[in-house]
Structure 1
Amino acid sequence: MTRRIVVVSAGLGQPSSTRLLGDLLATATTDALLESGMEAQVEVVELRELAHDLTNTLLAGFPTGGVGRALETLAGADAVVAVTPVYQGSYSGLFKTFFDVVERDVLRGTPVLLAATGGTARHSLVLEYALRPLFTHLGAVTVGTGVFAASEDWGSAGEAEQGLTARVRRAGTELAALAGARASSGPRDPFADPVPFEELLSGM
């Protein structure tokens, strides 16, 4: 059975260390799924390409441009890798704007791996005080191991047991376990479980 892994990357540069971290985590998750006998399909939502459409979506009150397609991709995920650069001590505005337009319950029960990039390891706690509360509010199941990559991590990824490579592998393995345990549902149908008519009448 194939699991759909969606990477949501809020990196702005090209190339982007944020996108690179997302790709590494998706690869680690895919490898772990393959080891357990499952295949994976990886899709990437690049938020930099949706910046203008996200602004229009907020103003219009409904998805415009590529935002609708991105939301459909997210809704069909069996697992999500959410990765953002750190700005002003928290996730980026672009990252927050995207998840502001995600409808309620779309991510409920979905495993999410939290990741961030920044210039210094002093920002690593952003995973716990900013990202984890956001996705808990959205009802997602957050992976225990989050991954923060500072500038110095890219030159020493394989030098120590606690280096970036080891953290990526551990987080990917945890996400794969959660993704493998849940049924692949495809895009969620908001009308799939309607409230019975009698229950609606009882509340009148």
Structure 2
Amino acid sequence: MSPTGPPEATPGEPAAARRPRWGVLALAGLIGIGMVRQGLSGEADGPPQPGADTALFPGDLPPDGPAPPPLSRSAPSRVAIPSIAVSAPLMPLGLDKDGLIKAPPADAPRLAGWYEDAPTPGENGTAVIVGHVDSGSGPAVFYGLGALEKGRTIRVTREDGRTAVFEVYGTQVFDKRKFPARKVYGTTGRPELRVLTCGGDYSADSGYAGNVVVFARMTGTG
């Protein structure tokens, strides 16, 4: 389940992050993404999971270094993660009637989505991209997300023709029942990106127990 309430706003936090909805983005609405394991021929062990060497621990901070100037708001149109062979179109996602972020359509497993009430990738603040991990027909767009290593690149193409380039500095799986919303979605004072899918232990009755979260910061533009 998702956190029961929003994190407290911090000084300088973008307006979208201060809204109550921002604190409930634990993606409980994505529980159904990984509930079907059949059909994954040759993938009996399930998707890769993050290792201890990619985790962020309490007190860890994003890597030091000058931040490139943030971009103005512009909707993203495509996400590319070359190291895990991801190149996917993006659709805007809102919230469902329970205040949880919606998932991309189940019949479009290669499509990813971005949360439209958060900053767009490249803006100052934390942008959010989500996608399915698997489907009844096989691995989905973010099947390999748990294997993403620190230092890898994520490129997000925007409708204004700019590309926001991000460097991964952590990949971790969190139990949905104890999802650290502030750690995941809180602002760092610079353009950041979180990419999420389902992960952790799997049950045929309840789906995946957790969410894989990739932490990345913008390092440049194209």
Task: Tell whether the structures are fold-level matches, with TM greater than 0.5.
Answer: no
Larger Rg: 1
> Structure 1 or 2: larger helix share?
1
TM-score, normalization: structure 2? 0.26
